[in-house]
Each structure stands twice: as C-alpha cells, then as structure tokens.
Amino acid sequence: MTRSMNPSDTFRQEAADLLATLETTLLDLEETPDDRDLIDQAFRCLHTLKGSGAMFGWEALAAFTHHIETAFQKVRDGVLKASRDLVTLTLAALDHIQVLLEQPEQADRVRGDALLAAFVDLAAAASDRSSRGKSSLPASQRKPGHSANSGSERVFRIHWRPGHDVLALGGNPLLLLDELRSLGKCAVTPMTDQIPALEALDPTRCYLGWHIVLTTSADRTALDDVFIFVADQSELVIDEIPVTAETPPRLGEILVERGDVQAADVEEALSRQQRLGTLLVQSGKVSKERVASALGEQRHLHEAAKAHESAASSSTIRVPAERLDSLMDQVGELVIAQARLQQTTVNADNPLLKSIAEDIGRLAAELRDTTMGVRMLPIGTLFGQFRRVVRDLSRDLSKSVELTMAGEDTELDKTVIENLKDPLVHLIRNAIDHGIDTAEQRQAQGKPTAGRVHLSAVHSGAQVLITIEDDGRGINRVATRTKAEERGLIQPGQEVTDAELFACIFEAGFSTAASVTNISGRGVGMDVVKRTIDSLRGSIDVASVANKGTAITLKLPLTLAIIDGLLVQMENERYVVPLSAVEECVELSRQEEEHSGGRGFLNIRGEIVAFIRLRQLLGVPGAAPDIQKVVVVALGESRVGLVVDQVIGQYQTVIKSLCRLHRDLEGFSGATILGDGSVALILDIPHLIKFARERETALRTV
C-alpha cells in the first residue's frame, strides 16, 4: 500500500508550486512592470503562501512572507513601483523562503532580517515619493478581484432607476457605476426612454436608469453596500442569476423571465426564424435597449458558464511520483504477462482463448499508452526555471543576454525531464560564459549588443530534440584541437571531422578556457552532461560556426520504460531492435551476399546501403542460413542494414536495465523478458553502428 501524504508534505508541495509560479511572474513583471494581472498574481501567490504557511504551522515562513506581501499590496495600490530593484529583492527573498521551507533550522535569521529591512527601505522611499506627488488610482483603474476567486464567480442582474432628485441630493451615478465596475465585469445598458426634449429638461433631475449585469466574485452584501445611500430614493432590483455549466438560457427565456416580454410573443417571433431581438423590437414588443441589455446578460452568462466548465474540466489531482512509477512497473509486468499469454495461445487450438488473448493484448497496449501519457510533462516546466539562471548569470557577468524559447509544450517522460535539468543548466551556463561574447566584441562584429540564447524542444519520431543555441563566438576549433592533441585525444596531423573534434569537449577535464571563472571553465560539466544524456539513451550533436554561434542538440527518447520493438533472431538468441529506428526489412540471399563481394553493401532500389553482419559483430557461433534478413535502420541521415537470421515480428518491449556488471557493454541499451520467459537484449543502434565502424577501421588499419 502506498502511504498517504501528510499535511506538511502537502504544504511543501503547494509552496514549491507557488514559489515556481511566483518566480515566473516576477521575471515577467520585470519586463512589463505595469501589468496589473502579473502584480495581482504575485500578490495572490504571496498571500496564499502566507495563509497556508500559517495554517500548517510554518510560522517563520508566514511571518517573513507577510512583509513581502505588504510590499506587493503597496504595488497594487500604486504606491510602490514594481521596479527592477523590487524584483531582484523579491527573488532573493524567494530563495530565503525556499530555505525556510526545506531546512528551516538552517535559515539565516540575519539574512532574513536584512532582506526585510531592504523591503521596508524600498517601501519607505516609495511613500516619500508618493506623498510628494500622490497618484493613487481611481476605482475604475483598479483591477477587480481583491478577494479574487475565479472559481466562485456569480452573475447579478441589477435594475436601477435612481429617484428624480438623486442629482440634486448630491448623488452622481457615475461614481456608483465606477464602484460597481471595480467589483467585477460589468455590462451597463442605459434606459434613456424618459429623457425629455432639451427644452423641457431640468438639468438637476435624473431621467436615466440602468440595466446592469455584473459578473463578480463579491457577494450580495458588497453590492448592497454600493447602493446603500441611494437605495431609498431608487427603483432598485438586484437578482442573482444562477450560473450552471449547462447551456445558459436563450435570449427569449431571459426576456420572459425579466418580464420584458410575453412567452407567446417569443414563440411567435421564433416561428418566423429571424434574429429574435430585431423581430421583437420591430414588432414593438420591447425596446431596442432592453434587447441589448438582455443580450449583454446572455453574454455574461455564456462566459461565466464557460469559466465554470473549464474550471471543472481542468480539475487535477496531485499524486506522489512513486505511485506513478509503481503503476508503470505494474503495466510493464502486465505487458510481459500478456506476451506470454499470446505465445501460449499461438500453440493452443482454442479460438475462444485466442480472442480473449487479443482483447487483453489490445487493452494492455492502451493501458501502456495511457500510463505513459500520465507520466508525460511539458518541458516548459523545466525551461521556465532557466529564466532565473540566465537572469542571474547575465547580471554576474555583466552580459546582456536574452533567453528565448520554443516548443515549451513538448512533452517528455517525467524521469527524462528530471534528469535533464543539470545538463541543461551546464549547457546554458557554458553558452553564456564561453559562447556569448562581450558587448564590445559583439558591437565590433555588428551583432546586436544583447546576446541571445534560444532553447527549443521538438518531437521527431520517437525522439525529442532539445536544442540550446547561442549567437556567440562559436567553438574555437584551433584551441580545441590543440587541447585535444595535448591530451592525446587526437594525433597531431590526424584528419578529423567537426563531429569528432567537438566530441572532445565532452571528455572529462577538457577545457579551453584561459581563465577559470566560478561559472565555468573548470572542465567539469560537459563530461557530466554527456554521461547523463547517455544514461537517458540519448545522444548529443554539436554544430558551431565561428562568430555566429553554437547549437547543441540533445536527442532523447520519449520514454525510458516501454518501447515498440522488432524481435529478430540469430541461432537461438533473440534481440530487439527499437521499432522507431526500423525503416524496412529485406531479404539477403547467399548469392546477393557473395555478389556484394564481402564489402558489405546492398543495393536497395538503387540506393547503396551498407550492412553489418550482426553474427560477426556479436560473435554468434554457427553458420548463417541460406536466406538471411536485413533490417534497415535509419540513423540520422544515413541508413544501415543489420543482417540477422530471422525477423520474428513486432514486440512490445519493457526495458529492464542491465545489471551493473554489464552496464558498460556498448551496443545494448537494456534487456527485456520475452513471452516464454527467456531474455532478449535490446540493441542500441547508434552505439552499435559506432562500434561496428570502429572495428571496421581497426581491421582495415591492421
């Protein structure tokens, strides 16, 4: 049984989410300091953090957050500006909250107090300024929702006709409507039918009335408060319109309910099937204004219903990650059991059993896909964290760097995303520290002063490509080569391709940086990046153009748990080729093999494809059958054939990692258990081909 989460853990998780949201909001706010929505969002995050913190007994955290919340209250009131300084300070405060959250006993009180003092100073400086030139916002410019709670929006219909002497008594409907508007979204339709001709008009008498539809999170009392001084002298009706996720009422229904028109008139108008509102107005049953007002109400209800619906459909539950992991394990076992069942039914002469086995096979495949879908997270959650990294780094290095992103919606397995964070941080740090040149150098080359780092993610078959691109100085080929020769990675005079040269930068302890900064240049990092990506069964491509920039592409599998595979056989051994890599299968007769002259090339519809004899490569004993099969796999641009004895067929493969003893075996990415209980190795195509090429080269040079 999995344990349930205790309240403290729940709060920790909630707080971590809030802090992440807050960080993103602050970084956005730095770019658009006047965005009311962002200010409100930051305030709400702080407010919730404080509230939940106090509720779950995190007093120190709540007390600390309270002061920051106060500062943001001032921002909301227009007293304090959401300046760069405030954002920087708040980000530092977030780090402190993080410590309070994770290791409260290690929190540095002095630092906390210093941060709070800085907030007080900032607020004091601002109130000095504002008392000199006060610019507090009128109600109309304040955003609605001081106690914003979009989940509980209500719709009110207000019919208001002030008494004739309301103006003479000092009332101004404008101020009242302004106040109403500050409560939420307001649709105001005037009733102007009582305005007399100009000559007969008494300018101090009020002839106007209003139909108002208000969508608000405020309650009825707040509405009554708005009208408190005029209610006695007014015709005032406030009704709450129930909002349901069902279809909102139609225009006719609203008009009838409001008593503006008879149901029969609506029926009659409907039967003519033209625009209902126009028809009713034409037939003189209702004024144009009333129809407009009813239409406004309908719009409000539509929107409120939509909000309700999306709130309902986007409801989520929080599940501990271990449960998902164990679910995935169980699905894996189910898939294996299903394979055994299928194997058994093949030999059994029982149609009923076969049909059940097929059903179970289908269900297992669906369950597998659903479970994998549950584990998928958009990579944007990870990318978002790098904005802070870039911001802080560019400050530290006094380089102006702009971070752009694309494909944040691309989904990847949770485990892959978790493991990607460190390598990506390394790559981004490298890009900014080594890649992006100084402002002067950039200007001299006619580049924009601000450097650019671009993060992107895109699906490509069963892989996800993540690219970190900068427009800096590019990798210095000469320095890299010198260093590589020094370290004996490349022989002097040896011809190497860019790919081979750039591969050197992933060697442990390799750095061409002349100076070691506290950011990078120690030669630690790139080898860690390579190891991590390898462990995720991914690969790294580097492209670099001098003075134009560097692009590092990480190719990663979508998931680590289950793949579709093609089962192949040699003698009695079976192997799995990942189906995503397979392009086609062709036959290879003995004549053809001999015809190729032992050079290992095959003519497939006019295209020359090199093939690798897996028997030889893997050292399988015995003689090959007369007719062998070639599984053609795609590897980037090129195609390579793998010669096997027999192709058995498609097979859902649950990947089991190899034991520690075998983990370093190149050419295999794992193993799987087959239906009959035997074990098959999963071929790691890129590594296998690399291994074959190296062997070939070695053989030739001998």
Tell me which residues touch another protein (CB under 8 A): 140, 167, 172-174, 177-178, 181, 188-190, 192, 195-199, 201, 203-204, 206-208, 210
E-strand ranges in 192-277 read 209-216, 235-241
- Closer to another protein at the Cβ: 119 or 210? 210
What's the closest the beta carbon of residue 178 comes to another protein, in angstroms?
6
What's the closest the beta carbon of residue 190 comes to another protein, in angstroms?
4
What's the closest the beta carbon of residue 231 comes to another protein, in angstroms?
17
Q: How many CB atoms lie within 10 A of CB 161?
A: 18
Count the residues in the chain.
702
- Closer to another protein at the Cβ: 291 or 484? 291
Cβ pair 489, 499 in contact under 8 A = no
The β-bridge relationship of strands 582-589 and 627-635 is antiparallel
Q: CA-based angle 442:28:307, to the nearest 5?
A: 145
Report which DSSP code applies to 164.
G
What's the closest the beta carbon of residue 211 comes to another protein, in angstroms?
9
Which has the closest alpha carbon to 153: 30, 85, 245, 65?
245
- Closer to another protein at the Cβ: 13 or 172? 172
Which has the closest alpha carbon to 537: 665, 686, 402, 433?
686
Cβ pair 96, 112 in contact under 8 A = yes
- Closer to another protein at the Cβ: 206 or 644? 206
Indicate the helix (H) or strand (E) that contains 518. Answer: none
- Closer to another protein at the Cβ: 177 or 365? 177
| Cα dihedral across residues 426, 429, 433, 435: positive or negative | positive
Instruction: Please report, for the chain, how many H helices and E strands are present, in that order.
Output: 22, 21
Angle between the 84-102 and 7-31 helix axes, to the nearest 10 degrees?
Answer: 170
- Residue in this structure with the two tokens 């002469």, named with its chain if needed: 349
What's the closest the beta carbon of residue 179 comes to another protein, in angstroms?
10
In order, the DSSP letters of 94-139 are HHHHHHHHH-GGG--HHHHHHHHHHHHHHHHHHHHHHHHS--PPPG
What's the closest the beta carbon of residue 221 comes to another protein, in angstroms?
23
What's the closest the beta carbon of residue 39 comes to another protein, in angstroms?
22
CA distances from 507 to 157, 475, 488, 511, 529 (A): 71, 15, 11, 9, 10
- Closer to another protein at the Cβ: 177 or 367? 177
- Closer to another protein at the Cβ: 167 or 568? 167
What's the closest the beta carbon of residue 172 comes to another protein, in angstroms?
5
- Closer to another protein at the Cβ: 288 or 362? 288
What is the rounded CA–CA span in Å between residue 80 and residue 33?
11
Q: How many CB atoms lie within 10 A of CB 381?
A: 13
- Closer to another protein at the Cβ: 210 or 386? 210
- Closer to another protein at the Cβ: 124 or 195? 195
What's the closest the beta carbon of residue 209 comes to another protein, in angstroms?
10
Q: How many CB atoms lie within 10 A of CB 212?
A: 22
Helix (H, G, I), strand (E, B) or coil at 229: coil
What's the closest the beta carbon of residue 46 comes to another protein, in angstroms?
31
What's the closest the beta carbon of residue 249 comes to another protein, in angstroms?
22
CA distances from 697 to 184, 405, 692 (A): 74, 41, 9
- Closer to another protein at the Cβ: 170 or 597? 170
